[in-house]
Amino acid sequence: MPRLSEVIAELDALWPPERAEQWDAVGTVCGDPDAPVTRVLFAVDPVREVVEEAVKLGADLLVTHHPLYLRGTTTVAAGHFKGRVVHTLIKNDIALQVAHTNADTADPGVSDALAGALDLRVVRPLVPDATDPNGRRGLGRVCELDRPETLREFAARAAKRLPATAQGIRLAGDPDALVRTVAVSGGSGDSLFDQVRAAGVDAFLTADLRHHPASEATQHSPLGLVDAAHWATEWPWCEQAAAQLDEISDRHGWDLRVHVSKTVTDPWSAHHDSPSGAPN
């Protein structure tokens, strides 16, 4: 049975904290380094529903992609929802570990998991990490399809293979345009349009596309845009990360029980189609 410090050391080897962006908050949020770990839960968001799931599961360690405190805090009082998360974790002897931008750019990273969920062949990073001599780390991925399909068909593929959310999948561009190459980036990706255009791909799948960047992108070129929910584009990483920890556990003979949360923590809870017709 490993100690928390031993498990964290292996996770830090997968996603070195020093590779996180300077503004990011990764690593151990709470937890006793000497505490034993037998059960681990992976999730995207460290929110109340996920923490309650970890308690019910009897997890000793919760690993999330998103930080609990990204901008710092002056209190962990239980009257605030984040403080309540901390109190619940500590009371139930559950450690919290965060792998965010250090997992985004890893090899394999968040966008590799996204590409795998869509059955795409990864060609290279979209924004390579200059410190990687092998050219495999970096933000986003440039991918190829096994065979060309229309943008409409590719969006349908995303809707079928990614976890269901209230948003579903939005697309911009000619639905009948053929797609052979795709850039993917898990999470918010509209800061990457310059790199996507430079990659010369037919489509870009990401999340949180805002009006002005998306509008400008469609004016620049016939690039097809496929916009999924933020949570849905990052959830495949949880399965990938759990498999990585399973392999580590087997190698060390730890016999860890590793789980992936299927709790939908996308904040949007419902979707209504707009009535047909022109605006009033």
| Spatial contact of 227 and 209, defined as CB atoms under 8 Å apart | yes
Amino acid in position 129: D
| Spatial contact of 262 and 278, defined as CB atoms under 8 Å apart | no
182: closest CA among 155, 156, 203?
Answer: 203
**In this predicted structure, what is the pLDDT of residue 277?**
63
**In this predicted structure, what is the pLDDT of residue 72?**
84
Write out pLDDT tens, residues 226-248: 999 999 999 999 999 999 999 99
Write out pLDDT tens, residues 181-218: 999 999 999 999 999 999 999 999 999 999 999 999 99
Cβ-based neighbour number of residue 33 at 10 Å: 13
State how far the Cα of 246 lies from the Cα of 255, in Å rounded to an integer.
Answer: 8
Pairing relation of β-strands 178-188 and 203-207? parallel
Residue 178: pLDDT band (50, 70, 90) is very high
Write out pLDDT tens, residues 123-176: 999 999 999 999 999 999 999 999 999 999 999 999 999 999 999 999 999 999
**In this predicted structure, what is the pLDDT of residue 249?**
98
**In this predicted structure, what is the pLDDT of residue 274?**
84
Cβ-based neighbour number of residue 113 at 10 Å: 24
Residue with tokens 């697309």: 171
Question: pTM value?
Answer: 0.97
Residue with tokens 């990011």: 24
State how far the Cα of 181 lies from the Cα of 148, in Å rounded to an integer.
Answer: 8
State how far the Cα of 26 lies from the Cα of 21, in Å rounded to an integer.
Answer: 9
**In this predicted structure, what is the pLDDT of residue 278?**
61
C-alpha torsion 51→57→62→66, nearest 10? -50
Residue 197, token pair as written in the block:
């255009």
Write out pLDDT tens, residues 7-42: 999 999 999 999 999 999 999 999 999 999 999 999
Write out pLDDT tens, residues 35-92: 999 999 999 999 999 999 999 999 999 999 999 999 889 999 999 999 999 999 999 9
| Spatial contact of 192 and 127, defined as CB atoms under 8 Å apart | yes
**In this predicted structure, what is the pLDDT of residue 129?**
97
